[in-house]
Amino acid sequence: MSYSFKKTGTFITITAVAFSILTLTSTFSQAKSTYKTASVEQFREVQPNKTVHIFSKPSANSKKYVKLPKNSGVVVTGQTKNGFSKIRYQFQYAYVKTSALKKVSAKTGTHYARDISKKYRYDVPMNAGSIYARTFTASFLKTYKPSPAVTNFWFYKSSPTQFGITEYDTSKGLYTGDIEDGYLSLSIKYPIKKNLIWSGELGQKTKITQTKATVKTKAGTFKNVVVTQNGKMTYYYAPNKGLIQTKDRGKTFIQLTK
């Protein structure tokens, strides 16, 4: 990923998507004893070694929104008769050539996505003393009624603004992305191996720097943590827990507290 937060002055603000709490209608997954991640039924990986664009209409002659980077994926919501897939793009829909996409299988065994039956609580230390909330909760929502295109995402209930993140744990790797981007990037590549390098978020080099790290947060001590480096950001993923911490230039950016 991959989690794209922004800085305002000296403060961290989790912005870009202004979800209205008052209009948010959602379906929460019920807590289960088994670990559960988002279904990959609608997720598609971009075919390797192909130039793939997102179009405004199901036509190669329509407006091109963006060129998809390597190791990215999209959420497909339907098919057209002329060879295009309808995808979720930001808060609406767009199109990609179906031939440029491929189905994926879900990861089995240990997961590095978050458990959708749980709620996570995070701390943003650099927001202390600012107008932005220092803590926020992340809950998995099935639907966002004001925008039917937005489904199966993590809602970051922060103040004064909110944010949305999608995660799909596939046999190839963990894909994550911001709702407003319209596509997901490969945050962890499987099988996990120290010093493994690939093209991740924004086309930047991503590297697994540790595979068995022990990390302490306010939520406790986590073992066998996978650590990835993407640009100046460092991400910490605990097995069967998901994202527990991120650092920016070595300083704690967000940290799991519960």
Residues 206, 186 contacting (CB under 8 angstroms): yes
The CA distance from 46 to 171, in Å, is 14
Asked if 69 and 199 count as a contact pair (C-beta separation under 8 A), the reply is yes
Q: Which residues pair with 177 in a beta bridge?
A: 166
DSSP letter string over the chain? -----EEETTEEE--SB---TTT----BPPP-SS------TTEEEEPTT---EEESSSSTTS-EEEEPPTTEEEEEEEE-TTSEEEEEETTEEEEEEGGGEEE--B--SS--S--TTSEEEEE-GGGTTSSS-SEEEEEEEEE-TT-TT-EEEEEEE-SS-BEEEEEEEBSSEEEEEEGGGSSEEEEEESSP-TT-EEE-GGG-EEEEEEEEEEEEETTEEEEEEEEEEETTEEEEEETTTEEEEEEETTEEEEEE--
119 forms beta bridges with 139
Return d(Cα 181, Cα 67) in angstroms, integer. 12
> How confident is the model at residue 211, as a pLDDT?
98
Q: What confidence score (pLDDT) does residue 185 get?
A: 96
Tokens of 92: 């609406």
User: At 173, which amino acid appears?
Assistant: G
Residue 202 binned pLDDT confidence (cut-offs 50, 70, 90): confident
The pLDDT tens digits for 35-83 are: 899 999 999 999 988 889 999 999 999 999 999 999 999 999 999 999 9
- Does position 231 have pLDDT exceeding 80, yes or no? yes
Q: Which one is predicted more confidently, 74 or 160?
A: 74
In the prediction, which pLDDT does 49 show?
82
Q: What pLDDT is recorded for position 102? A: 95
Take residue 86 and report the two structure tokens written for it. Answer: 């309808």
Give the residue-averaged pLDDT of 169-184.
Answer: 93
Phi-psi label, residue 195: left if phi above 0, alpha if psi -120 to 50, beta otherwise? left
Report the C-alpha gap between 181 and 165 in whole angstroms.
10
Residue 196's identity, in one-letter code, is: L
- Where residue 16 falls among pLDDT bands split at 50, 70, 90? very low
Q: Write phi, then psi, for 108 (nearest 5 degrees).
A: -110, 160
Which one is predicted more confidently, 21 or 157? 157
pLDDT mean over 22-45: 64
